[in-house]
Structure 1
Amino acid sequence: MGKIKLRNIKVFSYHGCLDEEGKIGSDYRVDLTVKGDLSHSAKTDSLADTIDYVHLNKIVKEEMAIRAKLLETVAERILNRVLDELLLVQKVKVGVSKINPPLGGDVGMVTVYRSKSR
């Protein structure tokens, strides 16, 4: 078993329940961890035999571009696409963070964590 982490993927997007969030947008951070068998790719040294982190990053960016009211919804879409498109992934965990959320206080970020396994 092996693990691949993509940390601090920075995205500007338009998620949130407030109308203003859909118009103004905000900065987001996504952290993604996947687990799978990387022993074969370690021997073959072939991209075709591993979990492609470029593909993982593409999924995150595409799903973050689709507006949602809740971070939970975006996280679920990311999880589902990773498991659907990358068959070597056995488990995936994602954290979607809104930087400086409009909470009426000094909060650096709020994060929703979700995970899924095959």
Structure 2
Amino acid sequence: MDSMIKTGIIELEEMEFYAYHGCFREENVVGNRFLVNISIRTDMTRPMQTDNINDALNYVQVYNLVRTEMQQTSNLLEHVTARVMDSLCRHFPDIEWLRVKISKMNPPMGGQMRNVSVTLER
């Protein structure tokens, strides 16, 4: 195995949640569908060598942390996106770089629009 490879990117794409984020009263009552995309750069040397799940970043834990934050209502996508990012960094201190993108599907904008998204990087 190539000893030069050290870091890699893990992506959890299009995790779907139904949640109640938004500034309008209707959004807090009716809710909406959200898609969450996570990209995590981390050192993969150990799991590449051992083939042991205990040495790898646990995708299930990532999903569960995102789900927990999505269940807490926020007015702004910026706020919930930052909470997701903070939670992941707190639970996985070995993260070297992180991108979190949250998309609100069919936002109430007074016209047709597929989604609106907020992306944060750290």
Q: What is the aligned counterpart of 1:61 among 63, 67, 75?
A: 67
Per-residue deviation, residues 11-66 of structure 1 (Å, max 9, x unmatched): 00000000111011000000000001001111011122111111111111110000
Segments of 5+ residues of structure 2 without an aligned counterpart are 1-6
- Answer yes or no: is 1:47 the counterpart of 2:53: yes
RMSD over aligned Cα, in angstroms?
0.7
Greater C-alpha Rg: 2
Distance 1:115 1:60 in 2: 15
Give the SS at the match of 1:31.
Answer: strand
- Matched-pair identity in %: 30
Q: What is the aligned counterpart of 2:20 among 1, 5, 14?
A: 14
- Cα deviation for residue 88 of structure 1 reads 2.3
Q: TM-score, normalised by structure 2?
A: 0.92
Q: TM-score, normalised by structure 1?
A: 0.95
- Segments ≥4 residues shifted beyond 2 Å: none
Give the corresponding residue for 1:75. 81
Distance 2:11 2:27 in 1: 29
- Cα deviation for residue 94 of structure 1 reads 0.6
Give the corresponding residue for 1:98. 104
Q: Would you say how many aligned residue pairs link Structure 1 and Structure 2? A: 116
Q: Which amino acid aligns with 2:49?
A: K
8 Å contact kept, 1:32–1:93: yes
Distance 2:34 2:106 in 1: 9
8 Å contact kept, 1:98–1:109: yes
- Cα deviation for residue 109 of structure 1 reads 0.3
Q: How does 1:23-34 map to 2 (within 5 A)?
A: 23-34=29-40
